[in-house]
Structure 1
Amino acid sequence: MSESTGVIHDIGYQRYTGPRLGRRQVFGALYGHGLRTAFGLGRTAKAKIFPWLVVGIVVVTAAGLTAVRSQLGRAVMTYAQFADSMSWLVIFFVAVVGPELVSRDLRSGVLPLYFSRPLARGDYALAKLLSLVTALWLLLGAPQLVMFLGAAFTTDDGMHGVWNELLDLLPGLLYAALWAVVFASVGLLIASLTGKRAFAAGGIVAAFLMTTPIVGTLSIMPSRAVNELALLASPSTLVQGVGLYTLGDLLAPAGEANRLIGGFGPVYVLAAVLLVAGCVTLLLLRYRKVAAR
């Protein structure tokens, strides 16, 4: 009986001899890929429809406000108020993009491949979170820049007017960053809990929209303290409460901020910090558990 022998065939594979990049480069690549995914770049035309439809709406709105301002000679709304007015679009943007960033990877089971590289478990979650924060900030910040450019080119006060516009723009961009951090933290945590994008999207919308009626109920309670703390009940109104405390007249008419939140401004700031910190901590713990499976 003859013994079978194995044969090794050389089919031309070669060893990789280029530079071996480390953890920082892997993090950067993952962040860049997540940011491109948020806007559908490098993907099919179908994946680009929703994000660029939202981008188109906010930019056209900003352009319309700029045109109205040029006719009236005064601003219709401040840069910070623009972020508030677009909050409902931000919710749906997070509901669509958040699951695209993390739920797809959970469902397809590619996480072990990510974690087999020089990438810490927390790096994956933080890179995805940072990409969503950046996408949301660009979504709210870019239209504000359009408004600023329109105002700067039509001002009658020369460089002094441009400088005043810049001083109004910077708080608006910071406020947009607050929206981005809070919404991305909450949305990505919810999306990381399931590999089914439809369930993740529904959970995100519910977290933001179904808590709003609670705010309305608390705001009509007979207790003034309860009324002033009502905005804490929803992530959306929590951000607005922080904005009322820190930006004041840039968001509401004189005296309106005090009527809505009273002297509880520091409480809103603390609540926002705790919400973001809690969501990020739970997100990191979630991916430690996923990787350990």
Structure 2
Amino acid sequence: MSEAGVIHDIGYQRYEGPRLGRFAMQQALYVHGLRAAFGLGRSAKAKIFPWLVFGIMLLVAVIAAAVRSVIGETILTYTQFTVQMNFLIIFFAAIVAPQLVSRDLRAGTLPLYFSRPLRAADYVIAKYAAMVSAVWLLLGVPQFIMFLGGAFTTKDGFKGVWNELGDLLPGWGFSLLCALMFAGISLLVASLTGKQAFAAGGIVAVFLVTTPIVGVLSSLPSTTANQLAFLASPPFLLIAVGQWMGGDFEIELGRFGPVYGIEAVSLIVACLLILLARYRKVASL
């Protein structure tokens, strides 16, 4: 009796299309993550919170633009808008980040991802880019509404529109910094557990529990301690960086402005490196 195997052709069509590779996988993960952040392609329940937050922020932007057109003065700058929306961004991140990474841990889909030519770095980059994009859009679109309100009500013609654009672009840059920082911290916390409720609670705790430390340091009689107090909390760190970049938040940083900039960059890089180490460990299991 022959031991040779036989392959039967039962009529399935062969795939003859292009092999897209790792970049296409990254792109697919990014698009899926960005859609998931706003509940697109999911149930109506998943859409309620992100679109409620987005609606509130749009409403604030419309009110700011309307008041400016009536009284002729800016009541809320672009950087101030980002800072004022901090708490909404925290809760948005607490809901979205677990959706992007905790679900994969709980459902056990990571081994399937990494069984293909997809590396841990590809996964981290795609998820981080999706989270950053979601937070930036949440801030950037209302800021653009404010820009339109300022541009259409200016009395200086093209010069006024150009000046308004000069205010918008740094505001978008500040919003991008906010998105980079909040996305890195929230994804790192969410990557530690497959339980979305625990991940959400952990994210809120990281951002809010550090706030009293700032209050304690600010109340000390030392001027140096007061000027360095904002290093202790990510939301306040963001405010300090905005002040250093030329904002008008009425806080005193002294000569420590560059220190805040260095910490902000270091915090973002550290979150990404730890995330990468975390998923390299998962991929090797």
Quickly name the TM-score band, shorter chain normalised. over 0.9
Which residue matches 2:254?
Answer: 262
State the alpha-carbon separation in 1 of the partners of residues 273 and 218 from structure 2.
31
Which residue matches 2:136?
Answer: 137
Q: 1:53-132, aligned counterparts within 5 Å? A: 53-132=52-131
State the alpha-carbon separation in 2 of the partners of residues 42 and 85 from structure 1.
30
State the alpha-carbon separation in 2 of the partners of residues 51 and 11 from structure 1.
48
Which residue matches 1:34?
Answer: 33
Residue identity opposite 2:278 in structure 1? R
Which residue matches 2:264?
Answer: 272
Which residue matches 2:200?
Answer: 201
Which residue matches 1:225?
Answer: 224
Gaps in structure 1 of 5+ consecutive residues: 1-5
- Residues 11-61 of structure 1 show CA distances to partners (whole Å, capped at 9, x for unaligned) of 543322211111111111111111111111111111111110111000011
Deviates more, 1:9-18 or 1:97-106: 9-18
Which residue matches 2:172?
Answer: 173
Residue identity opposite 1:194 in structure 2? T
State the alpha-carbon separation in 2 of the partners of residues 12 and 114 from structure 1.
29
Which residue matches 1:192?
Answer: 191
- Residues 208-265 of structure 1 show CA distances to partners (whole Å, capped at 9, x for unaligned) of 00100110111001111001000000011111111110123xx33xxx34xx211100
Residue identity opposite 1:61 in structure 2? V
Residue identity opposite 1:290 in structure 2? V
State the alpha-carbon separation in 1 of the partners of residues 56 and 171 from structure 2.
19
Which residue matches 1:149?
Answer: 148
Share of identical aligned residues, percent? 62
Residue identity opposite 1:269 in structure 2? G
Residue identity opposite 1:123 in structure 2? D
Contact 1:171 1:247 in 2 (8 A): no
State the alpha-carbon separation in 2 of the partners of residues 43 and 12 from structure 1.
35
Query: What TM-score, normalized by structure 1, do the two folds share?
Result: 0.93
Q: 1:12-31, aligned counterparts within 5 Å? A: 12-31=11-30
Q: In the alignment, does 2:270 pair up with 1:291?
A: no
Deviation at 1:112, TM superposition (A): 1.1
Query: What TM-score, normalized by structure 2, do the two folds share?
Result: 0.95
State the alpha-carbon separation in 2 of the partners of residues 152 and 68 from structure 1.
14
Residue identity opposite 2:107 in structure 1? S
Residues paired across the two proteins, number: 281
Deviation at 1:8, TM superposition (A): 8.4
State the alpha-carbon separation in 1 of the partners of residues 183 and 28 from structure 2.
19
State the alpha-carbon separation in 2 of the partners of residues 203 and 11 from structure 1.
52
Deviation at 1:118, TM superposition (A): 2.0
State the alpha-carbon separation in 2 of the partners of residues 181 and 110 from structure 1.
26
Contact 1:63 1:147 in 2 (8 A): yes
- Residues 95-146 of structure 1 show CA distances to partners (whole Å, capped at 9, x for unaligned) of 0000000000000001111112221111101110111001101101110000
State the alpha-carbon separation in 2 of the partners of residues 159 and 239 from structure 1.
32
Contact 1:242 1:269 in 2 (8 A): yes
State the alpha-carbon separation in 2 of the partners of residues 173 and 7 from structure 1.
63
Q: In the alignment, does 2:159 pair up with 1:160?
A: yes
Residue identity opposite 2:121 in structure 1? G
Aligned CA-pair RMSD = 1.5
Task: Give the 3-state SS of the residue equivalent to 2:246 in structure 1.
Answer: helix
State the alpha-carbon separation in 2 of the partners of residues 50 and 11 from structure 1.
49
- Residues 256-283 of structure 1 show CA distances to partners (whole Å, capped at 9, x for unaligned) of 34xx211100100111111111111000
Task: Give the 3-state SS of the residue equivalent to 1:261 in structure 2.
Answer: coil
Deviation at 1:10, TM superposition (A): 6.3
- Residues 125-179 of structure 1 show CA distances to partners (whole Å, capped at 9, x for unaligned) of 1110111001101101110000000111111111111011111111100000010
State the alpha-carbon separation in 1 of the partners of residues 197 and 282 from structure 2.
20
